[in-house]
Amino acid sequence: MDKNKKINLVIDSKQIETDEGKNILEVAKENGIPIPTLCYHSDLKNKASCRMCIVEIKGKRGFFTSCSTKAEDGMEIITISPDLLRARRTNLELLFAQHREECNDCVTSHNCHLLKMAKEMQVKIGGLPDRKTGYPVYEFGPSLIFDSSKCIDCGNCTEMCRKQGINFLEKRQKDTFYQVKPKLEENRDCIYCGQCLVHCPVGAFEAVGEFEQVEEPLKDKNKKVIFQFAPAIRTSIGEEFGLEPGKNMFGQLVAGIRKLGVDKVFDTSVAADITTIEEANELIERIKNKGVMPMFTSCCPAWVKYLEFYNPAYLSHLTTVRSPQIILGGLIKTYFAEKEGIDPKDIIVVSVMPCVAKKYEISREEMKIDGMRPVDYVLTTRELARLFYNHKIDFKNLKPEQPDDPLGIATGAGVIYGASGGVMESALRTAYYKITGKELENIEFESVRGMEGIKKAEVEIDGQKVKVAAVNGIANAQKILRELQLDSTAYDYVEVMACPGGCIGGGGQPVPTDKEIRQARAAGLYKIDKEKKIRLAHQSEIVKSIYKDFLGEKENVHKLCHTKYFPKKREVEIKE
Amino acid sequence: MDKKEDMIAKIKEAGLTGRGGAGFPTGVKWEMVKSQKADKKYIICNGSEGEPGVFKDKYLLEKYPEVVVEGIKIALETVDHSLAYIYLNKEYYKQFSKKLEKLCDGLPIVIFEKKWGYLGGEETAVCEVIEGKRPIVRKKPPFPGESGLWGFPTLVNNVETFYHVGRIKEGNFKNTKFFCVSGDVKKECVWEFPAEYTIRQVLEETGNFPEFDFFVQAGGGASGEILLPSELDQEICGASSIIIFNKEKTDPYELMRKWAEFFLEENCDKCVPCREGVYRISEMVKTEKLDREFLNELFFVLENTSFCSLGRGVAVPFRSLINKVL
Ligand code: SF4
Ligand code: SF4
Ligand code: SF4
Ligand code: SF4
Ligand code: FES
């Protein structure tokens, strides 16, 4: 097909010129013509199963699903007609009749695609008895809940999980219906990446909700509630309030969280700077002392779980450095508590993360410090939005505020952690300085940025070539592992993020999430980095003083910043 | 002109059309597969017959397996570097695989047992099943002729079609068709008649034209249309089966429940109108409370928005029975 070939067509009497090779739905969207869809997702294959996106084509009999029909030169397409509406309404009614509505308890209800469609088409919901009443609800560890009575069988989650290389979900036949179910084999387990969730059009998957539990300590006068929030959520949370993806809402986030009645608001990116320094140190040490190479990043708990369960032989490759939220939680309950003279037992640390695997990460026993969990609760981006709604906080119109001292101001390096390649870029900036004693001239590593699944680069530091790869999506990590099996020296340093695009595309992020949206969120982070005065972790004054006052001691660094990994057996229990 | 092209020309000349129900010109289909450029091509002889009242492939596999295999052999010779599958439903596999294996000895033909029901007979679903997946209908285009089994050009023809190809080769083709007659008859039977025979002709010539008040279901015992005695002067659409129902002795709801069960069981659950529509119909016929208005809406989405022909065909039997008999 000729990529640059133009075609002309008409949609609802609008003349359109566009490139050949797109489907009708894409062309309509680009031209601001809305067509209702449910099963279509640009990350996934066309299944054309919901039959909502039907259109008519002049001169051809019947309806055509616009998501799976190529736009052709000379087509005249009609997206609205009495017959189309009639068919869509009935299909939507049928869809609702299999989806057990619990809108009051649903985290997505203020943003629900299905409800919106029902309203627009004037379909009354609950007109038919729900077919799926009594269908099972599954819990995937401390991270996810899958309520199969809400499922509309589009197959997005099963495909996405397969695309992740995990294949934990399948359609199994029960009675006369196929149902989406988790697999039962002992040699398969969920890694809690939450990609099923962000690709489900109807909210059948949700994070294990903790936002209600957070209300308790917020009301308790004797508790100090301290919030931290991850780099990747500042350019995505706006979407929950109708803003475009990529918009930096940092100041509003701080203001909004403060309004919830918390005692302090810190930025997880500060601890990302510490992760960076520790990781750079470890990398240098491994290179110098001929340690196990390549070194893998470990700040993505889904990736860690993947190795622990599916590939424990590689555990010694993981950096022992803890992830930013755990380091910051630890610092709050030690360094900060000591400084402020607070009993750490009275501190409740809540992280807001783009991630559902982070809920799993805080439950790991080996993370405990003096018997305490560094972080008590993890909320997703969506859960925080829900809290704002519940507290009637007009998020969009808040006056931006700054986070609190002393853990509030991060460098640009700490912010780009949220995008695939960011962890590695930050560590390389610092490693370069540590090895050469000089600062990099150009600190932007373009080759590890962007949305491709595998990004490779060679970085020259002090005459030595360091071979790096930044990977997003577990299936891509599997490719790198296979490569390493053939040539163990293929890389020196590998960053892996389980989610497409890294945490900006994480399982805790607003729905929908697709390639365009991920790109916009990532661009937002790189923009913040560019505008920061200090863009190198080792130059952060805050971090310097933390090292001086506290982390200078070997024992403290070890306790707060490093961890261990263990081969794992299946954790998700399913009662059939 | 070489011998291979000759066979396609002969098939075209004979005017053979696919005998699986869709009636596509066989010669054109063969040509399409032959003209594709590919390292490998597949031929599938589809013997997955599974709709109630349709058992002509069984009859042919029993009586004339050598002619069917001859037809496949011709396809293997005509389509370059090809391999063949004979795709049989469970029952047929049990009954005929031994005999077929003997007949296929030395030929690149695999006898494949289908573990699924009726839908596994749709040509793209056949490809899915042979690939080891569950029977889900694929999007067309691409047609199997362009990209079928494992992405290679694939010729899918029904058992009866291959039988007729065998007959063409022998110079023994008379453009006939095999008709299954069952239901309230003295004896279920398969008969060979000229392809253009009407339902009335078939019933009369087989001595099966009832003397009692009756209706028939023509074109498959689930998806076929209900026809009254006054409507029999037409050819059959779809599978060539005729089922006779004694009007007095037939409970129309019982009949509809059977169809609903069949569709519930056999559809692939992929698309909304068919998966959910069939379910709603089955609930209605179970309770014998028909909401006609809602039924009409269901028929509308089934016929107009179903992904494949199975769903598009669900409305026909129900609507014709409700309108004509109820
Ligand atoms: S969380 Fe990830 S691994 Fe688990 S079921 Fe969902 S997509 Fe699969
Ligand atoms: S759970 Fe959601 S994504 Fe998965 S099949 Fe059901 S509706 Fe689709
Ligand atoms: S990539 Fe980020 S959001 Fe996704 S699982 Fe890993 S840490 Fe969580
Ligand atoms: S119409 Fe029925 S059989 Fe065909 S794809 Fe849809 S659900 Fe499957
Ligand atoms: S969006 Fe096209 S069929 Fe679902």
In degrees, rounded to 5, the angle at the alpha carbon of residue A496 between the alpha carbons of residues A493 and A502 is 130
Residues A218 and A198 occupy one common structural domain: no
Looking at the CA of residue A148, tell me the nearest atom of ligand 2: 1
Residues A11 and A139 occupy one common structural domain: no
Enter the pTM of the model.
Answer: 0.91
Q: Is residue A90 part of a domain?
A: no
Backbone angles phi, psi at A494, to 5 degrees: -130, 125
Residues A255 and A158 occupy one common structural domain: no
Residues A349 and A432 occupy one common structural domain: yes
Domain boundary, last residue among A188, A208, A228: A208
CATH classification of the domain holding B186:
3.10.20.600
Closest residue by Cα to residue A166 from A416, A399, A413, A507 = A507
Residues B238 and B273 occupy one common structural domain: no
Q: Is residue A56 part of a domain?
A: yes
Domain boundary, last residue among A80, A113, A134: A80
* pLDDT value of residue A445: 85
* pLDDT value of residue B239: 85
Q: Is the CB of A152 under 6 A from ligand 2?
A: yes
A154 to chain B: closest CA residue: B270
Residues B236 and B105 occupy one common structural domain: no
- What is the complex's ipTM, to 2 decimals? 0.89
Q: Is residue A294 part of a domain?
A: yes
Q: Is residue A260 part of a domain?
A: yes
Which one of A63, A97, A128 has the shortest CB-CB distance to B305?
Answer: A63
Which one of A91, A171, A177 has the shortest CB-CB distance to B301?
Answer: A91
Q: Is the CB of A498 under 6 A from ligand 1?
A: no
Q: Could you tell me the distance, in angstroms and rounded to a whole number, from the CA of residue A168 to the centre of ligand 1?
A: 6
* pLDDT value of residue A3: 60
Q: Could you tell me the distance, in angstroms and rounded to a whole number, from the CA of residue A356 to the centre of ligand 3?
A: 8
Which one of A47, A97, A176 has the shortest CB-CB distance to B276?
Answer: A97
Handedness of CA A462, A465, A270, A239 (dihedral sign): positive
Q: How far A57 CA sits from the closest chain B CA (Å)?
A: 14
Residues A248 and A323 occupy one common structural domain: yes
Question: Which chain B positions have a beta carbon within 8 Å of A62's beta carbon?
Answer: 304
* pLDDT value of residue A548: 94
Neighbour tally for B51: CB within 10 Å: 21
CATH classification of the domain holding A193:
3.30.70.20
CATH classification of the domain holding A45:
3.10.20.740
* pLDDT value of residue B1: 43
Each residue's pLDDT tens digit, B196-212: 999 999 999 999 999 99
Residues B20 and B143 occupy one common structural domain: yes
Residues A365 and A224 occupy one common structural domain: yes
Which one of A49, A97, A176 has the shortest CB-CB distance to B265?
Answer: A176
Residues A66 and A135 occupy one common structural domain: no
Which one of B264, B272, B277 has the shortest CB-CB distance to A49?
Answer: B272
Q: Domain total for chain B?
A: 3
Task: Give how far Cα B83 sits from Cα of A360, A520, B75, B128, B149, Å.
Answer: 51, 50, 10, 17, 11
CATH classification of the domain holding A334:
3.40.50.1780
Residues B8 and B110 occupy one common structural domain: yes
Q: Note down the domain range covering A178.
A: 98-208
Structure confidence at residue B238 as a pLDDT band (50, 70, 90): confident
Question: Which chain B positions have a beta carbon within 8 Å of A63's beta carbon?
Answer: 304-305
Each residue's pLDDT tens digit, B120-170: 678 999 999 999 888 888 888 889 999 999 999 999 999 999 999 999 999
Pocket of ligand 5 (CB under 6 A): A 37-40, 48-53, 65, 67
Domain boundary, last residue among B200, B229, B246: B246
Residues A188 and A312 occupy one common structural domain: no
- Asked if residue B18 lies in contact with residue B140, where contact means CB atoms within 8 angstroms, the answer is no
- The C-alpha atoms of residue B17 and residue B168 are separated, in whole angstroms, by 12
Residues B148 and B59 occupy one common structural domain: yes
Q: Note down the domain range covering B268.
A: 253-324
Q: Domain total for chain A?
A: 3
- Asked if residue A538 lies in contact with residue A277, where contact means CB atoms within 8 angstroms, the answer is yes
Residue-averaged pLDDT of chain B = 93
Q: Is residue A85 part of a domain?
A: no
Question: Which chain B positions have a beta carbon within 8 Å of A153's beta carbon?
Answer: 269, 275
Residues A467 and A521 occupy one common structural domain: yes
Domain boundary, last residue among A193, A208, A223: A208
Q: Is residue A539 part of a domain?
A: yes
* pLDDT value of residue A104: 72
Looking at the CA of residue A166, tell me the nearest atom of ligand 1: 3
Q: Is the CB of A536 under 6 A from ligand 1?
A: no
Q: How far A152 CA sits from the closest chain B CA (Å)?
A: 8
Interface of B with A in 222-261 (CB under 8 A): 261
Which two structure tokens, joined as six digits, stand for A342?
A: 């607070």
* pLDDT value of residue A121: 86
Backbone angles phi, psi at B180, to 5 degrees: -105, 125
A68 to chain B: closest CA residue: B139
Tell me whether the omega of the peptide bond preceding residue A312 falls within 30 degrees of 0, making it cis: no
Provide the 8-state DSSP code for A5. Answer: -
Residues B68 and B147 occupy one common structural domain: yes
Question: Which chain B positions have a beta carbon within 8 Å of A90's beta carbon?
Answer: 273, 297-298, 300-301
Substitution target from B119, B263, B301 for chain A, most A beta carbons within 10 A? B301
Q: Is residue A46 part of a domain?
A: yes
Residues B165 and B267 occupy one common structural domain: no
What integer is the mean pLDDT of B258-263? 95
Residues A203 and A216 occupy one common structural domain: no
CB contact under 8 A, A94 and B300: no
CATH classification of the domain holding B48:
3.40.50.11540
DSSP-assigned letters across all residues of A481-507:
HHHHHH-TTS-SEEEEESSTTSGGG-T
Report the amino acid identity of residue B191.
W
Residues B271 and B192 occupy one common structural domain: no
Neighbour tally for A138: CB within 10 Å: 20
A88 to chain B: closest CA residue: B301
Residues B193 and B236 occupy one common structural domain: yes
Residues A26 and A156 occupy one common structural domain: no
Q: In A311-399, which ranges are continuous DSSP H helix?
A: 324-331, 337-340, 357-361, 381-390
Q: How far A45 CA sits from the closest chain B CA (Å)?
A: 11
Residues B160 and B180 occupy one common structural domain: no
Q: Which ligand gives the minimal distance to the CA of B271?
A: 4
Question: Which chain A positions have a beta carbon within 8 Å of B306's beta carbon?
Answer: 51
Q: Could you tell me the distance, in angstroms and rounded to a whole number, from the CA of residue A357 to the centre of ligand 3?
A: 7
Interface of B with A in 301-320 (CB under 8 A): 301, 304-307
Question: Which chain A positions have a beta carbon within 8 Å of B268's beta carbon?
Answer: 178
Residues B118 and B73 occupy one common structural domain: yes
CB contact under 8 A, A177 and B269: yes
Question: Which chain B positions have a beta carbon within 8 Å of A83's beta carbon?
Answer: 304
Task: Give how far Cα A162 sits from Cα of A40, A167, A195, Å.
Answer: 17, 4, 10
Q: How far A186 CA sits from the closest chain B CA (Å)?
A: 22
Which two structure tokens, joined as six digits, stand for B3?
A: 């011998």
**Residue that the structure tokens 């090809």 belong to:** B82
Task: Give how far Cα B167 sits from Cα of A338, B10, B241, Å.
Answer: 95, 11, 22
Which two structure tokens, joined as six digits, stand for A152?
A: 């509309």
- The C-alpha atoms of residue B216 and residue B228 are separated, in whole angstroms, by 7
- The C-alpha atoms of residue B55 and residue B241 are separated, in whole angstroms, by 8
Domain boundary, last residue among B246, B281, B303: B246
* pLDDT value of residue A440: 86
Residues B190 and B156 occupy one common structural domain: no
Each residue's pLDDT tens digit, B53-110: 999 999 999 999 999 999 999 999 999 999 999 999 999 999 999 999 999 999 999 9
Q: Is residue A427 part of a domain?
A: yes
Host H or E run for residue A378:
strand A377-380
Residues A327 and A448 occupy one common structural domain: yes
pLDDT tens across the length of chain A (576 residues):
456 789 999 999 999 999 999 999 999 999 999 999 999 999 999 899 999 999 999 999 999 999 999 999 999 999 999 999 999 999 999 998 888 877 777 767 677 888 888 888 888 777 788 899 899 999 999 999 999 999 999 999 999 999 999 999 999 988 889 999 999 999 999 999 999 999 999 999 999 988 889 999 999 999 999 999 999 999 999 999 999 999 999 999 999 999 999 999 999 999 999 999 999 999 999 999 999 999 999 999 999 999 999 999 999 999 999 999 999 999 999 999 999 999 999 999 999 999 999 999 999 999 999 999 999 999 999 999 999 999 999 999 999 999 998 898 888 888 898 998 998 899 899 989 988 998 888 888 888 888 899 999 998 888 889 999 999 999 999 999 999 999 999 999 999 999 999 999 999 999 999 999 999 999 999 999 899 888 988 889 999 999 999 998 889 999 999 999 999 999 999 987
Residue among B123, B267, B305 to mutate when testing ligand 4 (max atoms within 8 A of CB): B267
